[in-house]
Structure 1
Amino acid sequence: MVSIPEYYEGKNVLLTGATGFMGKVLLEKLLRSCPKVKAVYVLVRNKAGKVPQERVEEMITCKV
């Protein structure tokens, strides 16, 4: 049995819903716990009159 960091080592991950509550938690946990993950791709859609880039910038600069 391999650990979670070992499993994700060198792998690419696609994460949908990353701007939602659970998505933010999962993204943070993945980046913190799996430093050798190759890449994380985040799928973000338009919402509330904001383009995906604006939503990602808000998520990154959030104080949480």
Structure 2
Amino acid sequence: MRDALYSPYIIPVIAIVSGMVYIAISAWKKVQEDKIALEREIRLKELELKAQASREATSAGETKTH
């Protein structure tokens, strides 16, 4: 174990592993941000459709009363 710690390769190995961990975390964060953005878009579309349906129902109700 002690030999591994004093190996000339320990610094590059630590650097490579740290870089891989950083890349993995960055990719995971990006996926989560994209997922949240997609959910937000879906909610906005649903709200737009509800508002449109409400307007259509209101205008249909107005034409029936006239």
Please state which structure has a larger fraction of its residues in strand.
1
Asked which structure has the greater RCO (Cα within 8 Å, sep 6+), the reply is: 1
Compare CA radii of gyration and give the structure with the larger one: 2
- Range into which the TM-score falls when normalised by the shorter chain: under 0.3
Please state which structure has a larger fraction of its residues in helix.
2
TM-score (norm 2): 0.23
